[in-house]
Amino acid sequence: MSLVTHWIDGGPVRGSGDATQPVHDPSTGQVVAELGLGTAEDVDRAVASAVVAAEAWAQVPLGKRASVLFRFRELLVASTDELAALVSREHGKTVPDARGEIARGLEVVEFAAGIPQLLKGEHSEQAATGIDVFSTREPLGVVAGITPFNFPVMVPLWMSPVAIATGNAFVLKPSERDPSASLLLADLWAQAGLPAGVFTVVQGDKVVVDALLHHPDVAAVSFVGSTPVARYIHATASAQGKRVQALGGAKNHGVVLADADLDDAADQLTAAAFGAAGERCMALSVAVVEESVADALVERLAAKARAVRVTAGDQPGADMGPVITAAAKERIEGLITSAEEQGATLVVDGRGLVVDGYEGGFFVGPTVVDHVRPEHDVYQQEVFGPVLDVVRVAGLDEAIDVVNANPYGNGTAVFTASGEAARTFRRRVRVGMVGVNVPIPVPVAWHSFGGWKDSLFGESHVYGPEGVRFYTRGKVVTERWPQRTAPAPTASFHFSGDSQK
């Protein structure tokens, strides 16, 4: 059985520890690899290599950095099928969905390849007599990314291309659930000509996370995951004086108004709720429906949920695969049970699903729960599974109140034929990413991704312009070159506020 290792100083490394952890294929429940868990010593070794690499990489001209990004992009395109197969095997998502994940990551690589333009500063000629002022942005040094299981390629690509393009060395701590894709990414970076130590992978669990959070040579930490962990990472790393962008959990609402195209809304909600088995931070897990059309929409949702083809992710025609672990399956089914016990109506029940030929897999079927109330556990918690709650409301005002009362503020969408209603919704809703007749409003790479409230800790969103600012610090230079032929000006002992001199 293969051992998944670290990638330090330009190549695979076994690491100093003996502890391992099994990596499962969620479709079968079988162990497909063993993961070598890192130690604090491995983190020290990785960061020491990254420190040296960062000093040299920061001096590489912008055009040469961009050329590495361009080569990396071409290698990613050529390796899409291999990467998608790895992701499907260890995560369980369908191969087409894995390809889509890689494509969205490629967008950020393409954005970061424009780094010569993105790092242009500002210049003020003759700010005072003989004095010019200009600004630059410089890399931080060594930065770390701690990424989740649900997007083992896309989320590292949300972080590393921008961090590397801006001149930093990047240390990745991927999820221990599906770690193999991280090593293929490391190899592609090396093939693209990235110097050893600029992209590093340290596998592991909380031991590695804490070592990165406390390491004095790690200047910044990026994280995507659950809200409790995001809160912990933000508090811990901030206390160490590090920059932090920590993206947490979500409870995303799709609001369906009475004038919406119900067939289209049902299609969009089904795909957004059950794609990737609901294991997306942008999944629409709540349908907030105007009461006058709720019965008609629920009828459509039920039919579409029952038609979803659930099987192993590498099977042709699969719409949805398993959830990530047996524990996740048990937790999701427990929340479905609690909804029934607390008075909600199970319209489609995905508990107890067994897929022929994959009897050991961690499958939960698409589930539609009607008459959900905000106090129900299935609404209170981020289910992170194929469960769609239906909350009925009187109209747009109540729908906005429901969304705004939720502690999360990651993504939301409204389905309507009314421009007035859509504008009212997008202006009043307190959520970071909003879709209008778009179910999963993940911003394109030249904007930035991030939520509000308990979905984000720290001030910075990820990738896009905010990513460039996060991985760099500003410097302003005020300079004067005295004329050698003219009398030297007399230095003043007093602070001057007169820019006319």
Q: How far apart are CA 252 and CA 61, in angstroms?
A: 42
Q: Cα torsion for 328, 334, 336, 339, to the nearest 10°?
A: -140
d(CA 232, CA 455) in angstroms, rounded, equals: 13
For the chain, the straight-line distance linking the first and the last C-alpha, in angstroms and rounded, comes to: 74
- CB-count exposure of residue 13 (10 Å: 0-12, 13-18, 19+): buried
Interatomic CA distance for residues 412 and 433, integer angstroms: 6
Residues ≥6 apart with Cβ < 8 Å to 433: 282, 410, 411, 412, 441, 442, 443, 449, 450, 451
Amino acid in the structure at residue 482? P
Supply the residues annotated as catalytic.
Answer: 281
- At residue 347's C-alpha, the angle toward residues 341 and 352, to 5°, is 70
Residue pair 155/161 in contact (Cβ under 8 Å)? The answer is: no
| Structure token digits, residue 218 | 């790690």
User: 477-483 — which CB contacts under 8 Å span 24+ positions?
Assistant: 477/133, 477/134, 477/135, 477/136, 478/127, 478/131, 478/132, 478/133, 479/131, 479/132, 479/133, 480/130, 480/131, 480/132, 481/130, 482/130, 483/130
Angstrom distance (rounded) from CA 118 to CA 251: 33
